[in-house]
Amino acid sequence: MKDYLIDTHAHVDMLETPTETVLSEMNAFGVKKAIIPSVEEQFLDKISDIITKNENLFGMVGIFPSEAKTYTDEIEHKMESAAKTNKKIVAVGEIGLDYYWDKSFNDIQKEVFSKQIKMANNLNLPIVVHDRDAHKDCFDILKENNPKNGVLFHCFSGSVEFMKECVKEGWYIAIGGVVTFKNAVKIKEVAREVPLDKLVLETDSPYLTPVPYRGKPNKPAYVKFVAEEISKLREMPTAELIDITTQNAESFFGI
């Protein structure tokens, strides 16, 4: 029985709080491990340094879709080298498509997403996907370019129907603090319906802070409130949900 939580998506490198304090707060809330995604080339070295120095923190390599124009072969080689030399790099992410802010370079986003999926295949690492207003294109590009590796949809924002299509492919669904928001009807429905063996938890800290701390910077420790909300929605013991989602996260990321 796993009696601790894992935050599968926490931008610890962006927090103003010292890492030692972040870890202390995690421990107080029953959160043992956290995984730090990459979004830009400038953060890669910082993430590598943080995870090397802290046993229970792990990292990813990847370029965020809104930064797709910055992608170069040199950056790709840097990410590959980091993943090959640091065993605490456990995924390629967060990568994907974001059509919410700017649709003017969708084709570049698609190209860079495909390149990073292939990089993940070469590294034999799972893929953590950022998908905002781009469900079909994300799905299609993954189907075309990812024949084998695990896939996790970070901060899932699709419908129950889209979730079911993803799960059919064997892909995982990550749910964060939005599920605690009063009017977040769609993600609450997903939280009730997603198969437990494909569910993991996250915060996306410092963003999307759950109730009761909404409006303040998010922290990995607050993944506890995500677990509590989902267990209420599913009418199951929180301890059982924690056990299952922690096992899922450890299996998916190999940690």
Assigned CATH topology for domain 5-225+248-253: TIM Barrel (3.20.20)
* CA-to-CA dists, residue 80 to 47, 86, 154, 200, angstroms: 14, 10, 22, 26
Quote the pTM value.
0.97
Provide mean pLDDT across the span 183-200.
98
Distance (Å, whole) CA 5 – CA 241: 10
DSSP string computed for 107-141: HHHHHHHHHHHHHHHHHT--EEEEEES-HHHHHHH
Cis bond upstream, residue 212 (ω within 30): yes
pLDDT at 103 over 90: no
Inter-residue contact 141 to 99 (CB < 8 Å): no
Averaged pLDDT of the chain: 97
Query: Is the bond preceding 25 in cis, omega lying within 30 degrees of 0?
Result: no
Report domain extents, the chain.
5-225+248-253
State residue 101's pLDDT score.
Answer: 85
pLDDT of 156 over the 90 cut: yes
Residues 219 and 206 sit within 8 Å (Cβ to Cβ): yes
Q: So what's the pLDDT on residue 119?
A: 98
pLDDT tens readout for residues 18-37: 999 999 999 999 999 999 99
| Residue type (1 letter), 253 | F
- The per-residue pLDDT for range 157-191, each reduced to its tens digit, is 999 999 999 999 999 999 999 999 999 999 999 99
DSSP label of 159 = -
Burial 221-248 (b: 16+ CB within 10 A, else e): bbbbbbbebbbebbeeebeebbebbbeb
> Residue 102's pLDDT band (boundaries 50, 70, 90)?
confident
For 174, the token pair is 């990550």
pLDDT of amino acid 117: 98
